[in-house]
Each structure stands twice: as structure tokens, then as C-alpha cells.
Structure 1
Amino acid sequence: MELCGIYMILNLINNKIYIGSSINIKKRWQAHKSYLNINQHSNRYLQNAWNKYGEENFKFKVIDNFIDQSLILLREQYWIDYFQSADEECGYNISPTAGNLMGFKHSDETKRKISTRMKGKEKTSEHLANISNSLKGRKMSKEVKEKLLKANIGKKHTKEHREKISKHHYGKKLSEAHKEVLVNSRKKFTKETVLEIREKVFSGARVKDLMIEYDCSKQTILRIKKMETYLEVWESNSFKDNVDLEVEVDKATRRVKLTHNQVVEIFTEVSRDKGKIEFYAQKFGVSTNTIYNIISGRTWYDITSSLNTDKNSIRRDNSSGITGVKRQEREGRKIKWIARLTYNKKQYAKAFNTEEEAIEYRKYMELERDKGNL
């Protein structure tokens, strides 16, 4: 409940007093301190004393409180007379008669005049520092936050305002401590939850269902799957102990890097049994597409090309490094090099016995295409 009553501001050095009243004493004291700290208080006597003696030499005290707001001016007048606070030798009150702005509101015209008068005025660095200090530690209530949110819904910054914000922040660099605070503020999952999400992804759970269950975006789920976020989880020893082989994460791309032995194991085992694709994807922390690319020869060809497979080995289309030229090998047939070019929804393809012939044909077709002969 808001405290209604009479308060005093006492100067501990010379014992001079300011008497005031409010239907919300706590809020009024905060307003007094705010204006005094930025040198903008309406009472020049109190402001000058505050500047001279400092905040630490003033004491705020409630001297009378009651429920009936109709008594507030009578009680304030009583205490002004009692302490003689309107006498410049005894206090800081400007007027000997009690009065306040309870329930008063400026007209739109007055507000406009005040706004016009204040525009263009630049605050000094000291003034800004005082404002900052007066606001430190102050926390807004839930009701105030909701009011601010509703008031700003639908509002958009003007182009001029955006340029000012950009200019203000241009060239500023965040400290490491600030960066850490920002990163941690965006993280809402514990280590156990992250591991749980990743396990469900590789167990076949739909990303859409996980988004709803954990109240997060699709991007968050996919980044957890690829180990591109929550790096402290993947780098911890407890995670490494839970996998059969140590997983190395590329610091530049934040993606899993497979070792030579891991690629050999994937190619050998999955080529024999495609049912192990999901198992190896989860084991090494990669996608099923990565496994498919390894066994089809699209990636890690420098390792897989030297491996011998049995009769159940699958067809491999191995790139020569030249776009549109691929090596094709089938069981029981000669190796062929295929040169392909797609243009105007038509595909031109031809088989050659050597890679050099295929590359030359591909280059020839590109020239014909550029000349408009195709």
C-alpha cells in the first residue's frame, strides 16, 4: 500500500529542514533525489544546499502518515509552522503556506511549450553522469514494464532517429565481460537439456515438435544438432566420455571434423549395411547427408578412393574436381569419365575413357554455349 503523509529532508550539517507532503511518499523522495542529483530541482535553496554539502549529509524522514488524503494540506501546514521551515534561518521551504500539485496536470499547450523550450539543449557530461547514477539500482515493477511495452507496440523509429543511434554506437567495441553477459543472457538451456535435445534429434524426433516442446526456434535446434552453439557442452570431458570416439570441433566453422580412421570406419561399415547410417551420424555428431556423401564418394574422396569394397559396394560417382566432369564406376564394367552440361533445360552428356578427354569436351561445350550455338 502506498504511504501517504508528511516528510522532512534534514540537513545534518546545519539542521535546516524542508517539509513536504505526498500521497506516495516513496515515489516523491525518489523524484526529489533524481532532480537534486541532476541539478534540476525546483527549490533553489534546497538545490544549492545539496550541491554544497552533498547527498550524504541529508536525511529523509517520514514524520506524519495517515489514510485520509483530505487532511494532507492541513497536516503539512502544521509541520511547516512547527519547524518554521519557511524561515530561511531554519529551513528550505519557499512558501510559508502549504500547497502541492496533487492531481494537477499540464495542459497540452503547456506541454508543447516545455517541449519546445527543452529541444536542442545539450546536457553536460557531469549532468549525464548524475542522471546515470540516480537511476542505478532502480528496478521497474512488472506493471510499469507492461505499460511501457503497450505504449511502444507498433512504434517505429524514424530514419533520422535510426541514423542517430547508428552514429552513437559506431566504432564502439564491447568488452569481453559485456560479450559474455550478452551470450549468457541468450542461453536458456542447461547442459542436460542440450544433450537431451540432440539425442531426440538423432532418435528421429521432428524438429517442429522439439520447437514446441522446448519453446525455441528451428535454428536453435539445428545448431545444437551440429554442435554450433553451447560449445562448453561439447568441449566438456563429460560429453567426450559419452561418445565412442573423440569428436573434434573446428574452431573456425564450429563443425565436427572427422578423422581419417572415422571416415574409413563409416565408408567400410555403411557400404555393407545402409541401416547403420543413423547410428554413425549420431556416433560422430554429423548429419545423415554427411554419411551419404562419404559412401557415395562426394566427400573425402582422397580416403575412400583407395578403399576396396566387396560385391555389395554401392555405385560411386566421384568428381574429378572439374564441375560437370565425373568418374563413373559400375560393377563389372570399365571405368568411364562422363562430361555433362545442362543448358536451356537440355542436358548434353558424353562418356570418355580418360579424364583429359572428358575435360576437353566439357570446355568445348562451354565455348559453344557462350557463342550461342547450343
Structure 2
Amino acid sequence: MICTIYKITNLVNNKPYIGQTWKNDLQKYFNKSHIYVKGRIKLYRAIHKYGAQNFHIEPIAYASHQEDADQAEDSFITKYDSIKNGYNIRRGGARGLHSEETKRKISEAGLGRRHSEETRRQMSLSHNGKVFSQQTKAKMSGAKAGKRVSPDTEFKKGHTANRMFTSEQETMMVSRYQELKSSYKVADIFGCNNTTVLNIVKRHAQHG
């Protein structure tokens, strides 16, 4: 199989997006993948603003190995400066890193923000009156003894179940749920668990 490094160009403002795919039919791939996917939010918004008909996709390089494809993609992202002046949000390759600009925007959007004083107060009140007996504490401690938790699990424990979202992010989440019809897919996109997605969708439906 051959990997295609491609360039998507906005015909209105000439802004590019560089990507890669192992699919054979490039145009068919674009037609199916230009909707929102993780890592392409800038491209998604641009296509919805200007219309898919105003975007042109073309192959610019080929590679037979993933490592070569990653290097080529990264090289063209640099060549076309498509992070600053285009629709890429990170360096090329399957393990591309967020640019400093992207990390700043994510921070400003409120992702990973600290709980407000009011939220922390309510969380504290919700635990008031819960006094575990020594026997219960011993059972809880014993249940955890010997369990090895992976770094990935530790990350998810701290960053998914209690994830806080802005109203704008919740609206986008509801929209994605209506399109994908899967709380698990939406949860993967927004970095939370599917229960959080379902609770937000339910709350918006009640107040909609």
C-alpha cells in the first residue's frame, strides 16, 4: 500500500491543510472525512463557513512506510506554514504535538480549568456527613491493595469524570452527539467519559 500526503486548499483565501491517508481514492476520502474529527477543528469550521465546494484536494507526495509519511507530512506543514497560516493545528505525523498557539487557545477556551470557589464549595458540601467506619476503611484499603494502575488510567481518573466544559463546548458536544448518535465517539472527541456526554445532552434537552 502507498500513503498519500495531500494538500487541501481553500480556494477563497488560499489557506492550506496538509494531511496523510492510506486510502486509495483521495476525493472520496475527503468527502467522507471533511466533517469534524479530532485534530481538524480549524478545517471543519472553515469548510462549514465557505462550503466544501470551495476546497480543493490534491496529492503532493507519496510514501510506502508510516515513518516516511510522517516526515513528509511534517516537512510540507513547515513548507506551507499551515499551522500559522492554514488549518493544521499541530506538527505532522501520527504523534504530532500541539503548537504553542493551539495550547494557548485550548487554555483560553477553558479546557482543564480549575473549579471555581463555588463549585469547590458545593463539592465539599456534598461530602459532608459521610463518615466511614474503621471496618469500611479497612475494606476499601484492602480492595485497592495490590492493584496496579496504569499511567493512562490515572490520567483518565483525574481528567474525565469531573471534566468541566464551557456552554459553547457543551453546545458543540450536543451537536456532535446529534450527528454521530454515539456518546462514546463524542466522549473520545472531547476527552471525557460517555456518561458526561449523556448528562449534558439530557440537560440541554430539558432546557431546550
Q: TM-score when scaled to structure 2? A: 0.43
Higher relative contact order (CA 8 A, sep 6+): 2
Q: TM-score when scaled to structure 1? A: 0.26
